[in-house]
Structure 1
Amino acid sequence: MATVNVERTEDGFVATNGRGARVAIGGGDDNGAFTPVELLLAAVGGCNIVTVEPLTAQRGHRLVRLAMSVEAAKVESNMLGTVTVTYDVELPEGDPEADEVFRSVAQRVHERHCTVSRTLQQGVEVKVELPE
């Protein structure tokens, strides 16, 4: 089970995982803080990239550069439209197979391995439990 605690602090809001890592959360006008929507997009990108990188390297094709942007527009005041992941890749020189391997791995990760992307695509119930 994955668990993150979110709480208000003197400086705003912070999410903390069980390993002690912290991420500042704000409303969009807080310097140095992610909005909740930005965190969602970062989760999509992070899930994909941390899976694509080692799988590509394991196949003998270490990419010189591997980055991405993740974007989505609001289609309603409280709903995002399509989330688009755009890779920025620099292939190693002298490796004619690297592009094909990268594309194959990235597509497979998107379709089968990235928990965040798959959850968004399939939809999942979000329950709220209030204290009694």
Structure 2
Amino acid sequence: MPSATKKVTVTRRSEGHYLATNARGGQIRFGTGSEDEFSPVELLLAAIGGCSSVDVDTVTSRRADPDQFEVTVSGQKVVDENDASRLDPVGLDFAVHFPDTDEGREAAGLVERLVKLSRDKNCTVSRTIESATPVLFKVDGQPLD
């Protein structure tokens, strides 16, 4: 399967306020979390929840539109022995409900299996985090020590 490079560019709008732009021109404003903009950590949580939401929604919506589709993603911020911050653990809670029709019951019957498939195979975002993928930092194209 061919690999595809994903890329966004982050541009400073003002101190503590940034704009992420993807290759298709889509944009998300975010900041330090001191105002109503998403913080980078909240964007990470949204990316995890969004990835799995797409996995589940794509298949179930072929059968029926949900009455409720909500995924709550949370993580506990911890500081380790090196004073480095991270989230541990991160959890997803799916509340996905369908009408009481044949199609709705069929869609509802798929939710648990689709969430497991997303967790175990399909969600690139959570699987990247779980695999402890290296993050390589550079300045002006030059790798840091």
1:63: how far off? 2.5
Paired with 1:86 and 1:46, the residues of 2 have a C-alpha distance of: 12
**Distance (whole Å) between structure 2 residues aligned to residue 10 and residue 105 of structure 1:** 41
Q: Aligned to 1:41, which of 35, 45, 64?
A: 45
TM-score relative to the length of structure 1 = 0.88
Counterpart residue number, 1:90: 97
User: How far off is 1:123 after superposition?
Assistant: 1.1
Amino acid at match of 1:121: E
Q: State the shift of 1:109 in Å.
A: 1.5
Structure 1 residue 61, shift from structure 2 partner: 4.4
Separation (CA, whole Å) in 2 of partners of 1:66 and 1:2: 27
| Identity of matched residues, % | 32
Corresponding position: 1:23 with 2:32: no
How much has 1:18 moved relative to structure 2?
Answer: 1.2
1:110 is paired with a residue of what secondary structure? helix
Residues 43-72 of structure 1: CA distance to partner in whole angstroms, max 9, x if unpaired? 0011000111111233x2443221111000
**Aligned partners of 1:13 and 1:25 also within 8 Å:** yes
Q: Which residue of 2 is the match for residue 55 of structure 1?
A: 59
Show structure 1 runs of 5+ residues with no match: none
| Equivalent position amino acid for 2:90 in 1 | V
- Partner residue of 1:115? 124
Distance 1:13 1:30 in 2: 12
Give the aligned CA root-mean-square deviation in angstroms.
1.7
Q: Please name the residue that 2:74 is paired with.
A: 71
Match of 1:127 among 133, 136, 145: 136
- How many pairs are equivalent? 130
Aligned residues of 1:66 and 1:90 also touching (Cα < 8 A): yes
